Structure 1
Amino acid sequence: MKKWKTLLALGAVGILVMLGGCRMFGDKEETLTKEQQDNVVRWIARGYDVHAVDFISFSKDKSTGMYLLSFRLNSNKNYETTISINEKEEFSQSDGILGLNPINRFRELEKKKTLDKEYKIDISQIEITYLEE
């Protein structure tokens, strides 16, 4: 009888340890790859004159399921914003244009002529501070 209680207690402890481990590793914080962040910089650079993009945070809103990406342009706190996207895979596409909100805040950075969303843009001259991978 004592042997069964000991085995049952060890089994319960083992299950708790396994569940705790799954919980600890299951809620891994999501992030974007360097390539995905470069794509976002391309989207921005097609419509705005930027010389620096500092990525601040990336998260998934559990209540809406939307992905939220916050960044700052030209190292200026006045040019901070957050964009939301339905699917993380959208960040894997280099084609695209990003409109920044609030519009009035970013108006002075807008290019006179927005480039086409497929235009191959060179981002090598833009200073990028990436999220941790």
Structure 2
Amino acid sequence: MEKWKKPLALGAIGALLILGGCSMFGSKKETLTKEQQDNVVKRIVKDYDIQSIEFTQFSQDRKTGTYLLNIKINGSSKLETTLPFRNLERLNNDSDSIGLNPVDNFEHIERKQSLEKIDISKIKVTYLEE
């Protein structure tokens, strides 16, 4: 009986490790719809004068649950930033403003007055998964 305890315990630990690994790597990759990405563009254009925006990465921090959206403005590596969102529903509206940080990097493209009417047809947008 004693000789079975050790292999049984090791087997149970191995099974738990395998199940834990599957749950960690088995989740689906997060992504955003084109409409949600357009909403982000509209919210940025409202307060910043931009010609292009590239969505470079979207992920979720597993510890905090926060969604992180990486963007590059006007093709400049100096105008790269990460936008945090607590939940995806925040990306379903196009009316709120989005502040870009660090402020010093983006103040030269910040508008003096927010736009009332927003048209993104002239903005070059590179969407995720393109």
Q: Please, what TM-score do these two structures have when normalized by structure 1?
A: 0.77
Shift of 1:95: 1.2
Give the C-alpha shift of residue 120 in structure 1. Answer: 3.8
- Name the CA distance, whole Å, in 2 between partners of 1:121 and 1:49: 11
| Identity, % of aligned positions | 49
Aligned to 1:127: 124
Q: SS state of the match for residue 107, structure 1?
A: helix
Count, aligned residues: 110
Cα distance in structure 1, aligned partners of 2:37 and 2:64: 22
* Structure-2 residue corresponding to 1:67: 67
Counterpart CA distance in 2 for 1:86 and 1:67 is: 6
Alignment partner, residue 29 of structure 2: 29
The residue correspondences of 1:1-133 to structure 2 (distance < 5 A) are 26-115=26-115, 119-132=116-129
Work out the CA distance in 1 between the residues paired with 2:85 and 2:35: 17
Q: Matched residues in 2 for 1:45 and 1:130: separation?
A: 16
TM (normalized to structure 2)?
Answer: 0.78
Task: Name the residue aligned to 1:10.
Answer: none
**CA apart distance, 1:89:** 1.3
Is the alpha carbon distance of 1:102 and 1:24 closer, same or farther for their aligned partners in structure 2, counting shifts above 3 Å?
closer
Amino acid corresponding to residue 131 of structure 1 in structure 2:
L
Root mean square deviation of aligned Cα: 1.9
Letter paired with 2:126: T
